[in-house]
Amino acid sequence: RSTASHMAEGSSSKLKDFPHLSSSQRALMGDLINAIEDRFEDRLLPCTLPPDVEYYQNQSGNSEGALLIRSGSPDSSINFILASWLHSQLPTGASLNIASLSAYLRPSTDAPNFLIEFIQSSPTSLILILDLPPRKDLVLNPDYLQSFYEDTRLDTYRKTIEELPEARPYIMSSLFFRSLVSPTSIISRVDTESGGPERMEEIIKNHVGPIARDMVRVWVDECACKEREVGMMERVEIEKRDGLIKKKTIDIDLGSSLPRLFGQEVADRVVAAIQQVFDEA
Amino acid sequence: RSTASHMAEGSSSKLKDFPHLSSSQRALMGDLINAIEDRFEDRLLPCTLPPDVEYYQNQSGNSEGALLIRSGSPDSSINFILASWLHSQLPTGASLNIASLSAYLRPSTDAPNFLIEFIQSSPTSLILILDLPPRKDLVLNPDYLQSFYEDTRLDTYRKTIEELPEARPYIMSSLFFRSLVSPTSIISRVDTESGGPERMEEIIKNHVGPIARDMVRVWVDECACKEREVGMMERVEIEKRDGLIKKKTIDIDLGSSLPRLFGQEVADRVVAAIQQVFDEA
């Protein structure tokens, strides 16, 4: 292991602790991050976020969050990976936990990105987002649809989750995010009220976990590590499209939830740091 | 009313009879076709399909279908409208009924198309597809998403159907069709086993009907009748995209179901006639 990789691990321990996740979720998120870090080892630069963005909290201390961003080295297909968690005690007594990992590729390839997100407002209620979001219009590019979504049989994973008795499809409020995800995306609400938190653990461990590990492997092998020919014109369009996605992610996703949970000052600091990485990447 | 319009009505009476639909579905399909025909009156050319494609059946007579295609006149924004029904007695004793109406625009505009489809395998089970499918990548074109999907508040219609206790999301098997529809698409399975066929009638009459009529009005006013600026490059891409959609519709949709229900000879005849209109349009 390179020094860079060790440095990154040192500085990002707060992130990788996932202190508020259940044990099966914590194990899964750790495995997914490791799967990517191990494979790309020295092609991922250390996280350069300031300490008060790597870990942040609000004034009253009832909301805290951690962030890890590692850019790919210039010769890597990876633009950056972004891992994040946040925890907030809600006025209702419940607590909100969000944990996510996304991996973005560079415009030198048109292959899909990777995304997993857990949103939990109670130990028996989970919104799961797990996808390889495409980076091209799938209607205009049926070969792309074939290679990355048909041939990889990603829909069998979606079906497996869909068939869990506790799962039902979840519709995201943002039309932009709905447009962004793939036709094989797993976007589900899992409610285990009758089975309790134990059943949720079982679902994560025995169903979501194996699928997420498989999908990250598909992403690494078939997306991040496959050479793709991208013409100049196409590259410009992919760059524009990637840029719009990053902008909307900040505007819609972080821009609304962070100020609400952490206050404007903390939110501005975290968003500015992410913005800077996005701009430089 | 022009002679052309009357001629078209005369020759397409079989289609407009919808003899196998329930009364509320028949009334709705008639209203939707009329809404478009009335608005575009003399800008829709008469249907030129051969009689054995306007109405067709299989040898044993247990499957029958009807088709109406009217191309837009050269000065119209409409490429063509296509209405269709088919009815088949299944070996199981049940019967399959499919009725659809789609309206395609020309590449002189980038505005969305219109699509409604009813698929019924029993009087208490309906798959409903109702959408304004976009003609551009929505991720790359957030203004387009805003104009046609946010500002038109189409998602309120989707929500209304989603909230019916008998409705649940339906996932189409084709990844291509999943990619084709908009983020506000209504793609639902409605099961009214406990309420019986009467409840299905009520849902069509009081919920699906008003929404479908509203959506066709949105399509006519905001899509078919709005001037849009489309650059040369963009036009080429829209033309290519439209062409791919037509090709896949024939390959995936008609190409598999028609031979199964009507035998290869009838299927070939119907598909060739549709192909010809697609090619000329």
User: Which positions in chain B touch A175 (Cβ < 8 Å)?
Assistant: 138, 145, 149-150, 155, 183-184
- Residue among A175, A235, A237 with most chain B CBs within 10 A, to mutate: A175
Question: Do the chains contact at B149 and A245, CB–CB below 8 Å?
Answer: no
User: Which positions in chain B touch A150 (Cβ < 8 Å)?
Assistant: 175
Which of B162, B179, B184 has its CB closest to that of A138? B179
Task: Establish if A19 touches chain B: CB-CB under 8 angstroms.
Answer: no
Q: Please tell me the predicted confidence (pLDDT) of residue A41.
A: 86
Q: Please tell me the predicted confidence (pLDDT) of residue A7.
A: 44
Task: Report whether pLDDT(B144) > 50.
Answer: yes
Q: What is the mean pLDDT of residues B219-229?
A: 96
Instruction: Measure A160 CA to nearest chain B CA, in Å.
Output: 13
Rg of chain B on CA atoms, in Å: 18
The residue assigned the tokens 């490059």 is B233
Packing angle of the helix pair A154-162, A209-218 (nearest 10 deg): 160
- Residue among B143, B150, B172, B179 with most chain A CBs within 10 A, to mutate: B179
Closest B-chain CA to A158 = B171
User: Which positions in chain A touch B240 (Cβ < 8 Å)?
Assistant: 140
Q: What is the mean pLDDT of residues B145-170?
A: 98
Q: Please tell me the predicted confidence (pLDDT) of residue B6.
A: 42
Q: Please tell me the predicted confidence (pLDDT) of residue A90.
A: 87
What is the band of B255 on the pLDDT scale with cuts at 50, 70, 90? Answer: confident
Q: Please tell me the predicted confidence (pLDDT) of residue B187.
A: 98
Q: What is the mean pLDDT of residues B229-238?
A: 95
Rounded distance between C-alpha atoms, residue B269 and residue A60, angstroms: 73
Rounded distance between C-alpha atoms, residue A262 and residue A58, angstroms: 5
Task: Establish if B198 touches chain A: CB-CB under 8 angstroms.
Answer: no
Question: Do the chains contact at A140 and B237, CB–CB below 8 Å?
Answer: yes
**DSSP code at position B50:** -
Instruction: Measure B164 CA to nearest chain A CA, in Å.
Output: 15
- Residue among A113, A135, A140, A156 with most chain B CBs within 10 A, to mutate: A140
Question: Do the chains contact at B240 and A140, CB–CB below 8 Å?
Answer: yes
Residue A134 φ/ψ region, left for φ over 0, alpha for ψ in the -120 to 50 degree band, beta for the rest? beta
Q: Please tell me the predicted confidence (pLDDT) of residue A252.
A: 83
Instruction: Measure B88 CA to nearest chain A CA, in Å.
Output: 29
Q: Please tell me the predicted confidence (pLDDT) of residue A175.
A: 97
Which of B139, B150, B162 has its CB closest to that of A244? B139
% of chain B at pLDDT higher than 90: 87
Class of residue A25 by CB neighbours under 10 A (exposed 0-12, middle 13-18, buried 19+): buried
User: Which positions in chain A touch B184 (Cβ < 8 Å)?
Assistant: 175
User: Which positions in chain B touch A245 (Cβ < 8 Å)?
Assistant: 139
Question: Do the chains contact at A175 and B162, CB–CB below 8 Å?
Answer: no
Interval B176-200: pLDDT, tens: 999 999 999 999 999 999 999 999 9
Task: Establish if B247 touches chain A: CB-CB under 8 angstroms.
Answer: no
Mean pLDDT, chain B, rounded, equals 93
**DSSP code at position B44:** B
Rounded distance between C-alpha atoms, residue B67 and residue B266, angstroms: 13
**Helix residue spans in B134-228 (DSSP H):** 142-145, 154-162, 175-180, 196-203, 209-218
Rounded distance between C-alpha atoms, residue A236 and residue B233, angstroms: 15
Q: What is the mean pLDDT of residues B47-76?
A: 94
Q: What is the mean pLDDT of residues B41-69?
A: 94
Closest B-chain CA to A162 = B171
User: Which positions in chain A touch B171 (Cβ < 8 Å)?
Assistant: 162, 169
3-state secondary structure of A254: helix
* Second CATH level (architecture) for the domain A3-280: 3-Layer(aba) Sandwich (3.40)
Q: Please tell me the predicted confidence (pLDDT) of residue A268.
A: 94
In angstroms, how far apart are the furthest CA atoms of chain B? 55
Task: Establish if B234 touches chain A: CB-CB under 8 angstroms.
Answer: no
Number of C-beta neighbours around residue B135 at 10 A: 25
Question: Do the chains contact at B142 and A244, CB–CB below 8 Å?
Answer: yes
Q: Write the CB contacts of A77 (distance below 8 Å, at least 6 apart in sequence).
A: A105, A106, A108, A109, A111, A224, A225
Instruction: Measure B166 CA to nearest chain A CA, in Å.
Output: 14
User: Which positions in chain A touch B169 (Cβ < 8 Å)?
Assistant: 169, 171
Interval B71-113: pLDDT, tens: 999 989 999 999 999 999 988 889 999 999 999 999 999 999 9
% of chain B at pLDDT higher than 70: 95
Between A and B, how many residue pairs show a Cβ–Cβ distance under 8 A? Answer: 69
Q: Please tell me the predicted confidence (pLDDT) of residue B159.
A: 98
User: Which positions in chain B touch A244 (Cβ < 8 Å)?
Assistant: 139-140, 142
Number of C-beta neighbours around residue A162 at 10 A: 15
Question: Do the chains contact at A241 and B184, CB–CB below 8 Å?
Answer: no
Q: Which residues, in sequence order, are bridge partners of residue A168?
A: A189
Q: What is the mean pLDDT of residues B33-39?
A: 96
Cβ(B85)–Cβ(B65) below 8 Å = yes
Task: Establish if A240 touches chain B: CB-CB under 8 angstroms.
Answer: yes
Sites in chain A below the pLDDT cut of 50 = 1-11
Q: Write the CB contacts of B65 (distance below 8 Å, at least 6 apart in sequence).
A: B55, B56, B57, B84, B85, B86, B87, B262, B270
Q: Please tell me the predicted confidence (pLDDT) of residue B9.
A: 47
Which of A136, A176, A183 has its CB closest to that of B142? A176
Which of A140, A168, A244 has its CB closest to that of B241? A140
3-state secondary structure of A170: coil
Q: Rounded to the nearest 5 degrees, what angle is found at the Cα of B5, between the Cα atoms of B4 and B9?
A: 115
Q: Please tell me the predicted confidence (pLDDT) of residue A255.
A: 80
Interval B107-121: pLDDT, tens: 999 999 999 999 999
Q: Please tell me the predicted confidence (pLDDT) of residue B91.
A: 85
What is the band of B24 on the pLDDT scale with cuts at 50, 70, 90? Answer: very high
Number of C-beta neighbours around residue B162 at 10 A: 15
Task: Establish if B233 touches chain A: CB-CB under 8 angstroms.
Answer: no
What is the band of B2 on the pLDDT scale with cuts at 50, 70, 90? Answer: very low
Task: Establish if A187 touches chain B: CB-CB under 8 angstroms.
Answer: no
